[in-house]
Each structure stands twice: as structure tokens, then as C-alpha cells.
Amino acid sequence: MPLKIATQAPDFTLPSTDGANFTLHEHLGRPCILYFYPKDFTPGCTKEACEFRDQFAAFRAIDIPVYGISRDSVATHLKFKEKHQLPFDLLADLDGQVAAKYKAQIPIVGFTKRITYLLDEHHKIAAVYDSLFNANQHVHKMVGNIKTRFGEI
């Protein structure tokens, strides 16, 4: 089960494809999308990342950054980002601890699940979509939640 709506999002720091560490609390005051996914270059994860890329203008229009998180290294993320021309940063959760905090990890096996969170400006969970097999729906659900929360985009 993912984190519940209105729950405070756990803080974390992870290496990013922008060359620095990303720390969530340093971005308080603005909403964001965190999407957890299993692995770079797999068919479902590629489809999901490309869907976020293709819909990125909707998020940019209302200044909502998108961050993809998996257990892949920054080096692998950089190759994935370049190959698919992703306009957002990917974060390297090498040991899966952040995925575990966000209930985005299958216990015992350590496999990262496909879960997307919309955090509000106070970094409380405003919306969540949890589906391992419907990769393309994650973006559509978040766009719908943003329209409900912030109006037309």
C-alpha cells in the first residue's frame, strides 16, 4: 500500500542526473511529482518515462518539477535520460531506502514498484497512483489530479 493522502512525504537526499544531490526539503514551497519505477531501459519503464517526457509541458506550465527514482546508478540514468531525451532529472536510490520509505518497494525481494506521488507545496501527499502494469496511466492520473487541484493546465 502506498503512503496515504495528506501524509507528510519523507525527506531524503539522493544523487541526481543534474550532477548534485537532490534533497526534498530544499524544495519546500512548491509541489512536485515523484515517480518510482523498477529499472531504466525496460519496456514499461521506458514507456512511462517517455510519457512523462511527452506530457512534460503540462507540468512545466504550472511549475511542477518531475523526478524519476529507481535503483539504477546516476551513470545508467544519464544514458537513459540522453537516449530518450528526458527533460527532467532522475535520482539514484541505489540501496532502495527511499523507495522503502515511500512504500514503493516489494519487501524481501527489494524490487521497486511503480508508484507516482504528487506532493503539494508543503510536501504532503496530494495524490498517488500505484500500478506496476499500467505505466502509461501514471502520467494521465497525475495530469488529472493537477487539473483538479490547480485548474486547467
Catalytic residues: 45
Q: How far apart are CA 31 and CA 15, in angstroms?
A: 20
Rounded alpha-carbon distances, angstroms, from residue 15 to 18, 67, 77, 86, 153: 8, 12, 11, 17, 30
Q: How far is C-alpha 51 from the geometric centre of its chain's CA atoms?
A: 12
The helix/strand/coil state of 111 is: strand
Whether the Cβ atoms of residue 40 and residue 77 lie closer than 8 Å to each other:
yes
- Residue 85's identity, in one-letter code, is Q
Task: Convert 3-49 into a string of H (helix), E (strand) and C (coil).
Answer: CCCCCECCCCEEEECCCCEEEHHHHCCCCEEEEECCCCCCHHHHHHH
